[in-house]
Amino acid sequence: MRLWRSRIIATIAAVVAVALLFQTPVEVQEHRGRQTISAVDLSGLREVDTAIDSRLRAGDLRTYRTRANAFLPGRRSERLLQYYQGIPVYATDLNRQSDHGVTTSVFGTLFTGIDVDTTPGLSAEAARTVFGDLALDIVAHELAHGVTHFTAALGDTGPPNEPGAINEAFSDIIGTAVEFYVQESGTGLLRADYLLGEDADVLIRSLRDPQEIANVVTGPYPDHYSNLYRGPLDRGGVHLNAPILGHVYYLAIEGGTNRTSGQSVAGVGAANRLQIERIFFLL
């Protein structure tokens, strides 16, 4: 019963995701406007520095981290993301370094000529009506498939279907990341954690310990590549093998020990979660 319920919930979320994606024409813009910035000489640096300050005031750039240099007193690094109409632009990152308040270098990537309609396809009230009590991580998981479809072109292969498993793992990770972005961390209802589907009263997969949840094919989910499911079921194991990569995401942030390999990892810590998310999705 629990298995069928999880399938029904996932199917509903998938249908909603497709409806949201295709109820209006989907706009996909190629990266022809990619701009690589590297300014270290005084003449170009002042122009770029002034432009950054102007875009920060306008909201087109936002600072997500500042860090003092532990070895060079007075030196500071500022990391910025590009936004378009209030929405983060994928694959952007700008690093501005300063010495006692004076900018010394700027380098990174931005995009120009962005022209995408960001008008929501549903009103807030309509979204509440459609999504109802579906778990946040499940909805985010299914919507992430749309992003992967239009950006990664992973496709499918014969078993073991590793591209398909990576696709599912990306959605698991994004679903989890959205929870931590929106909700307070903890256990219980409406708390961010590394379980999928718990707020819909059905546990689908676990990123913290894949083997703590069982499935009807392999029993415990694999948590290591050596345990990769290689059979034909589940389209070559797209869902069964997804927790292998999802567990990497968990360990990289929280740290811990992989059950199968016994390898221990020191994570970057929850406060530095964005570092790992950028490694997965922006490089």
The domains of the chain are located at 2-24+120-281, 34-111
Residue of 253, 240, 7, 281 whose CA lies nearest to 142? 7
CATH of domain 34-111: 3.10.450
pLDDT of residue 68: 93
CA gap 249, 255 in Å, rounded: 9
2-24+120-281, what's its fold?
Neutral Protease; domain 2 (1.10.390)
Could you tell me the pTM of the whole model?
0.68
CA distance 65 to 90: 17
Return the pLDDT at 152.
Answer: 85
Query: Is 184 labeled as catalytic in the residue annotation?
Result: no
225, two tokens: 């590549």
Catalytic choice (142, 162, 168, 277)? 142
* Parts of the chain with a pLDDT under 70: 1-32, 124, 127-133, 282-283
pLDDT of residue 116: 85
168 is catalytic: no
Residue 83, pLDDT score: 93
Among 141, 145, 224, 239, the one annotated catalytic: 239
Long-range contacts of 41-50 (CB under 8 A, 24+ apart): 45/103, 45/104, 45/105, 45/106, 48/106, 49/96, 49/103, 49/106
Which amino acid is present at 222?
P
Q: Please give the pLDDT value at position 118.
A: 85
Structure tokens at 208: 């913290």
